């Protein structure tokens, strides 16, 4: 069964950093571009970042560029998101998602909750 499992969320102080991880199984991880999408509890979906299959190209949402670094390790079937200078408005569920051929998201993880609060 194809699966994505996120981890690394939790309570963080404003101004600190956090690294989220996403572990893939059931498919050839290195064959797919990958993304992070976030959702403030009770609100809509917001695309955060993407990385190509070989890590050659990374993209970030304009509002978050400069505070994030997306990376991946295909040998470990893993995707990462390093978040810096965390703000209360970064509080959200963070989902990793697999990109489909038509630039959609055809597999989602269950998400990990990041809470930024003092």
Partner 1 sequence: SYELTQPPSVSIYPGQTASIFCSGDKLGDRFVAWYHQKAGQSPALVIYQDSKRPSGIPERFSGSNSGNTATLTISGTQAMDEGSYYCQMWDSSTSPPAWVFGGGTTLTVL
CB of 99 to partner 1, least distance (A): 9
Q: How far is the CB of 25 from partner 1 (least distance, A)?
A: 16
**Cα 107 to chain center, whole Å?**
13
User: Which one, 13 or 106, has the nearer CB to partner 1?
Assistant: 106
- Contact footprint for partner 1 (CB under 8 A): 35, 37, 44-47, 50, 59-62, 95, 100, 102-106, 108-111
The token pair at 69 is 């670094």
**Three-state DSSP class for 31?**
helix
Length of the chain: 118
Give whichever of 92 and 111 is closer to partner 1, judged by the CB atom.
Answer: 111
């Amino acid at each position: 069964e194809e699966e994505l499992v996120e981890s690394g969320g939790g309570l963080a102080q404003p101004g600190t950093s956090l690294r989220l991880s996403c572990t893939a199984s059931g498919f050839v991880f290195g064959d797919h571009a990958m993304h992070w999408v976030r959702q403030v509890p009770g609100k809509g979906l917001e695309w955060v970042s993407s990385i190509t299959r070989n890590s050659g190209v990374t993209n970030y949402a304009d509002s978050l560029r400069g505070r994030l670094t997306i990376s991946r390790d295909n040998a470990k079937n893993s995707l990462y998101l390093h978040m810096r200078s965390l703000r209360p408005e970064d509080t959200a569920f963070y989902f990793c998602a697999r990109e489909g051929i038509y630039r959609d998201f055809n597999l989602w993880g269950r998400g990990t909750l990041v809470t930024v609060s003092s």
